[in-house]
A and B are shown apart, each in its own frame.
Chain A
Amino acid sequence: MARIKIRKPSATTGAVNIGSRCSVNPRLARRSFGKLSVATAALTGVAMTSRMIGKASTETGKPAPYLGSKTVRTICTHCAVGCGIEAEVHNGVWVRQEIAQDHPVSFGGHCCKGAGAIDMVTSEKRLKNPMKKVGGHWISITWDQALAEISTKLLDIRAKNGPDALHINGSAKVSNEMAYLQRKFAAFWGSNNIDHQARICHSTTEAGVANTWGYGALTNSINDMRHARSMIFIGSNAPEAHPVAMQHILHAREKNNAPIIVVDPRFTKLAAKASDYIRIRPGTDAAFMMGLVNAVVTNGWEDKEFIRTRVAGFEEMAKVAADYTPEAVEDITGIPAAEVTRIAGILAANRPTSLTWCLGGTQHHIGSSITRSFCLLQLVLGNMGKSGGGTNIFRGHDNVQGASDMSVLCDSLPGYYPVDKESSWQHWSRVWDVEYEWLVSRFYNKDYMLKKGFSLARWYEGVLGEEKIEQYTPIKAMIQWGCGANVNSQYGRVKRAYNKLELMVVVDPFPTMAAAMCERDNIYLLPSASQYETSGSVTSTSRQVQWREKVVEPIHDCRDDYTIMAGLVQRLGFAETFYKNIKQIPEDISRESAKGLLSIGYNGMSPERIKRHMANWHTFDMDTLQAKGGPCDGEYYGLPWPCWTEEHPGTPILWDISKSVAEGGLPFRNLFGNEVTWDASGRSENLLAAVGSCTPGSEVKGGYPEFKDVVSGTSWATDISQKTTREALARGMAPFGNARARCLVVEFPDQVPIHREPLHSPRPDLVVKYPTYEDKLDHFRVLTRYKTEQNSELVQAFPYVLTTGRMVEHMGTGAETRSNKYLAELAPDMYAEINPRLAKDLGIRAGGMMWIESPEGGRIRVKAKVTERVDEKTIFLPYHFGDMFEGKSLVDTIPAGHAPDVIGESANFVTNYGYDIITQNQATKDGLCTVSRA
């Protein structure tokens, strides 16, 4: 153990002081010392004394390098943790990355991707000018030519086939303002065929969670996990996917002795940090969760008061959960029966529990049931609306929360206003200041305006026409705007679709795999600037809105997204109406969208407020995220939505009734009516909160419905004068009412989450016992097979479970990170994880090559990583690689000089058929495959 050393005081800042006040809680130290160097010392453990620094500077007596440089604060473009970046810019060049030590979430921390952010701008692999393919060769063209040809072709297709012949893959990588423009563009073009990565990411979370209690986002925040007394992670691997969040997670473990329970088919890097690791069979999460709920209820550990006052449908739900006895759970999940009870006991004894899930929980054909089962566990334990509790659902891409909020989605308009309601369109036509009838006229007809579009998960079926589609025309053109190409499962089908398209437009800083996959002369590459070369707001997974400032001007002949959009809209002929209220970009876009985004409370965050937060990182408290003093005094960092008014501090924890609404408290949302009669029991139940359950200062002491008709004919969500919201707040009430969270979702085929075997199940016996759904016609315009796809014989030919996931070095489909030379060096190889026993049985050696084949006929050749991370029945693939096909490199087909530093087989060639019953999220986590030595 270290000795306590005696230190001599120094002239300027006492070294004794530093030592004695230095704390593992950097906040304390930061308040004590203004000097940057010392603050850093305490924050990061980098213990530089001011004395020593003073000496060094006087010693050299030289001016610092990059004299006259400026520091730009911006936000990392990789994951949704939203780490701060301090970029040093000298003569218009991003010369260095500084340590963003004051950032209230990351405190200077970065994973390898964030630490190499500068490469996003400097990578030699970036596209330099627009390109198109002519006679099988890539040629450079001007922007004018590119945009003119593309828009002529688009108008031509529109005239011939109608507006729905275009599909747009929007982006979770662009700013909120740009995402909003993407959605608006589709509406003005006249089609709902627009979608983005959230579809194949957390769409099932949004559906499941929003249908339980009103909003589908992370309820607390990453920082709030510091207060957890226990944590359970299921299908989440934070050290790989959200590394900087680990700072706060490990704090809770160290400070509160909080057990970390990791439930995953793999012994992940997070499992290495866990107190309890539970290996689960892929696709059986709902069974385990309902088992935990049942164990809690049968042992009497449920939070009875919470359930009495704030939960509906508990009895009906508990009756279904009773089927999931520890023994039944063991049979389905492979988790020993005793473990089920033991884990329930740990959670019951260590409240509040923070529950986190990621794509391991969402990418299943029953994803929207699984996500609800997570909510149910938190409801019965009474962990909602409490600091240290909540469902801390980590989102993936840096702005996937924001792009979802802006609804770059085929089933909603910005703010999650559903497309199938005329009132949504009327609301937005008021905001956009266009005639509703004009908007209708842009569509094929009103039915198509009110019909969900093709989703990102299956847009290519609209091109191929091999499955039964419900649209008057096949899809003829595709714009992939900031969306990696190889995101889709069954990627071989996508490849065929590319080559059937008349027009394929890729807008991206890198060529993406689409450049390699399109064999015909139908493709254009438009080099957009990276997000460091433009500005706008982004929403982190904690619902915090941060301002991403432009670091440098777009490099080469790249253009920022706003400029590209303007060029396109102009040529398509609706620029005047489109930009009616938008003069200053991007700020005016924020202002316009804020006018309409009432449903999720984006109306209180002006660009000015967000920028003020960025400038005052150091004033926010690490534990509460509230500014203590300074110009943002009392506000929560990033004004986490809903932020009801320009004076509102943001809502740091959803559903927290210990604070008044004006101070950031909230009851559950009244979204499902005021009363219900459950089909299962015939019992009628009030859906409003119990008497006495409300936020402090509420005029109504108990449940109340949403605010309507304050301005006649409108509700709080459609009153763009915002009078309704202000009145609700003045009365101490939530605009959306005070209701109960519901355990049953009456609109879903499974009102209570139940287990259903994966479509491609390794357990024929369980397919009989827990079969899937009936096939679904017109599921996002395409027939989606369930019953006819589930085949209990399949396992004989494809005996291993196939699951996919993240690596820390890469992001998404890897177009960006595989073009970063340092990240490429760290993780150069595509691989498959295989258990040592299985590898030996199949004659595969560590580092040897193996073929993986899917039931759909996809096959990839990958390196064997022999490891006990996976069990003997499971194969794991990271999904970040691309630019290879069936063992052959496609580098020759990519514009010369722009191929990534490393390439590899794309996991999505072998991911299986299977789509969520509600949202069509793709089931990439529980497929089947066969393996052989290559």
Chain B
Amino acid sequence: MARMKFLCDVERCIDCSGCVVACKEGHHIPVGVNRRRVITLDEGKPGEKSISISCMHCSDAPCMAVCPVKAIYQREDGIVLVNKKACIGCGYCFMACPFGAPQFPKGEIAGGRGAMDKCTFCAGGPEDTFSEEEKRLYGQNRIAEGKVPLCAGMCATKALLAGDADILEDVYRKRVFQRGSGAKAWGWKMAYRKE
């Protein structure tokens, strides 16, 4: 069974937020909830880098470990999903997640948190596949349709990769190999600078 992963190539990410809107528009995510975000570091300075972040669908996912009601589960292909009907909105997963992925829709009564929402790898949720309920709670189930996640598919520069880890590694390895060749190789300037 293939293992699904995300990989964001920081050399290519240009902070255009195509992935963010692709996700929101595709799943009708309310304003204020971000399954995916683009983070930019050192903005406006040499070394500025951007990266697109969402749930990474971790191996041994910490969110699963801390969930008191076992609302979070992992599929055989590595995709981590939440059962919103079981979730009690306690927010432990948010504390545990190293990527800040879990989102809690705002605007509930007395500031109470609703069920956790996060990236589904476009794989819907535990409800009946393609049911209205699944769509309402989790958005499209593209994986079941044989389609690819929207964010990576619509990435402007193909910085964001998603899918079978084996193939991702191949794609990325070749890119790194290509970039590494020639006089502009990373580290060369520092290591072999001519006086």
Contacts and interface: CB of A to CB of B under 8 A. Distances in A.
Interface of A: 1-3, 5, 7, 15, 18-19, 22-24, 36-37, 40-41, 43-49, 51-54, 56-57, 59-60, 62-65, 96-99, 101, 106-116, 118-119, 239-240, 243-244, 246-247, 250, 254-255, 257, 259, 267, 269, 271-273, 275, 277, 808-809, 821-823, 825-826, 867-870
Most A Cβ at <10 Å: residue of B145, B146, B168: B146
**How many residues of B sit at the interface, in one of the four size bands?**
35 or more
Given A1-B173, A2-B169, A65 B135 contact: yes
A339 B71 CA distance: 60
Interface string B138-167: 001101111111101111111011111111
B148 A48 contact: yes
Contacts of A3: 169
Contacts of B19: 115
A22 B170 contact: yes
Given A65-B130, A250-B12, A46 B152 contact: yes
B155 A44 contact: yes
A47 B18 contact: no
A868 B45 CA distance: 6
A52 B164 contact: yes
18 contacts: A2-B172, A3-B169, A7-B166, A19-B166, A46-B149, A46-B152, A48-B164, A54-B146, A56-B144, A62-B144, A96-B140, A109-B155, A269-B14, A822-B20, A822-B21, A822-B24, A867-B43, A868-B45
B145 A64 contact: yes
Interface in B82-106: none
B21 A115 contact: yes
B20 A254 contact: no
A57 B31 CA distance: 32
B26 interface: yes
Contacts of B183: 257
Interface of B: 1-2, 7, 11-12, 14-22, 24-26, 31-32, 43-50, 77, 129-130, 135, 140-141, 143-150, 152-158, 160-176, 178-179, 181-184
A108 B158 CA distance: 9
Contacts of A267: 44-46, 48
Given A1-B173, A46-B163, A48-B148, A63 B130 contact: yes
Contacts of B168: 45, 47
A65 B145 contact: yes
B154 A110 contact: yes
Given A5-B166, A56-B143, A868 B17 contact: no
Contact of A41 (B22, B31, B141, B167): B167
Contacts of A45: 7, 152, 158, 160-163, 167-168, 171-172
Contacts of B26: 96-97
Contact of B17 (A22, A826, A869): A826
A923 B174 CA distance: 45
Contacts of A259: 184
B18 A44 contact: no
Given A45-B162, A114-B18, 18 more contacts: A19-B170, A45-B172, A64-B145, A99-B148, A109-B18, A112-B17, A113-B21, A115-B18, A115-B22, A115-B154, A116-B21, A240-B16, A243-B18, A243-B157, A272-B46, A272-B47, A808-B15, A869-B44
A44 B142 CA distance: 16
A112 B18 contact: yes
A41 to B, nearest CB: 6
Nearest to A57: B146
Contact of A112 (B20, B148, B153, B162): B20
> What are the 6 tightest A-B residue pairs by CB atom distance, in nearest-first order?
A47-B167, A47-B163, A45-B161, A869-B44, A2-B169, A99-B153
Contacts of A65: 130, 135, 140-141, 145
Given A56-B144, A65-B140, A239-B16, A18 B173 contact: no
A23 B153 contact: no
B45 A2 contact: no
Contacts of A101: 153
B32 A825 contact: yes
Contact of B14 (A24, A48, A257, A273): A273
A106 to B, nearest CB: 8
B84 to A, nearest CB: 19
A115 B25 contact: yes
B144 A110 contact: no
Contact of B148 (A46, A62, A272, A809): A46
A862 to B, nearest CB: 17
B38 to A, nearest CB: 9
A111 B18 contact: yes
Contacts of A23: 174
B25 A269 contact: no
Nearest to A23: B174
Contact of B48 (A60, A112, A244, A272): A272
B153 A44 contact: yes
B44 A826 contact: no
Chain A CB within 10 Å — which of B135, B163, B178, B182 has the most? B163
A113 B22 CA distance: 9
B32 A111 contact: no
A115 B178 CA distance: 29
Contacts of A19: 166-167, 170
A825 B34 CA distance: 10
A112 B176 CA distance: 27
A277 B162 CA distance: 32
Given A111-B18, A112-B18, A257-B181, A2 B173 contact: yes
A122 to B, nearest CB: 9
B45 to A, nearest CB: 5
Given A60-B130, A112-B18, A826-B17, A257 B184 contact: yes
B152 A44 contact: yes
A49 B172 contact: no
Contacts of B155: 44, 109
B174 to A, nearest CB: 5
Contacts of A52: 1-2, 77, 164
Nearest to A44: B153
B47 to A, nearest CB: 8
Given A108-B154, A269-B14, A822-B25, A257 B182 contact: yes
Nearest to A808: B16
Given A5-B166, A118-B25, A269-B14, A47 B154 contact: no
Contacts of A254: 11, 175, 178-179
A110 B159 CA distance: 12
A23 B174 CA distance: 8
A47 B171 contact: yes
With most chain B CB atoms within 10 A of its CB, the pick from A56, A101, A259, A867 is A56
A277 B48 CA distance: 13
A78 to B, nearest CB: 11
Nearest to B42: A272
B14 A246 contact: yes
Contacts of A809: 17
Contacts of B45: 267, 868
B137 to A, nearest CB: 15
Instruction: Choose among A47, A273, A870 the residue with the greatest number of B CB atoms under 10 Å from its CB.
Output: A47
Contacts of B12: 246, 250
A664 to B, nearest CB: 28
Contact of A269 (B20, B48, B129, B164): B48
A905 to B, nearest CB: 22
Nearest to A119: B25
A808 B13 CA distance: 13
Given A19-B170, A37-B148, A257-B184, A111 B17 contact: yes
Given A45-B158, A49-B164, A868-B44, A40 B153 contact: yes
Contact of A822 (B31, B147, B152, B178): B31
Nearest to B123: A56
A277 B46 contact: yes
A96 B23 CA distance: 11
Given A46-B152, A109-B18, A243-B156, A275 B184 contact: yes
